Amino acid sequence: MGWFGKLTFGTLGLFFGGPLGAIAGAALGHHLVDKKGNITEQTNRRVREPKPKHADQAQAAYFVSLFSILGKLAKIDGVVTRDEIFVVQNFINNLHIDEREKQFAKQVFNEAKNSSYSIEDFAIQLYQTNKQQPTILLSFISLLFQVAAADGKFHPAEEAALGRIKDIFGISDQQFNDMKGSYFNELDKHYKIL
């Protein structure tokens, strides 16, 4: 992901603004300063990067939105469970990104879950950069259902948040209910058997 290097060299504020810019900036700050408070080698470089292309901006916005919304959703019922962390960690590990980008994804997740921005704030920005790509939005909702199902319960706050995101994304009730059924009807069946 070439956009990550561009973020690292200071174009972050130009990419986003709003909640995504705030979360990405905070996560990047943590990412560039090591645990001892020292600035990492990357921030000392004086490299002139080309201006990011629209595709890079959209990819970066999607990445930050994704992990911001995942962080908010995981904590929406009050507790981030191990199962939810496992699903997110597994998702990160299956992405074709380097270790630096994986660490950045985790920082975004952690910054967002504790931020004052709402899950809707992040969803609106994600929608604005991907409204011409409904398949991406549907895949995103599916991933959110996977995280919501990780702890074996569909908490009312999770359901309400996903419903609001569905409305922001313009996803039909039928599509939403089909996805919901694929994650939670199966869960209900397994629990009835037990």
Per-residue confidence band for 179, with pLDDT thresholds at 50, 70 and 90: very high
CA nearest neighbour of 111 among 12, 25, 173? 25
Domain count, the chain: 1
Q: Which domain holds residue 124?
A: 2-193
Give the residue-averaged pLDDT of 116-125. 91
Phi, psi (deg, nearest 5) at residue 92: -60, -45
Per-residue confidence band for 49, with pLDDT thresholds at 50, 70 and 90: very low
Hey, how many other C-beta atoms are within 10 angstroms of the C-beta on 126? 24
CA–CA dist 186, 93 (Å, integer): 25
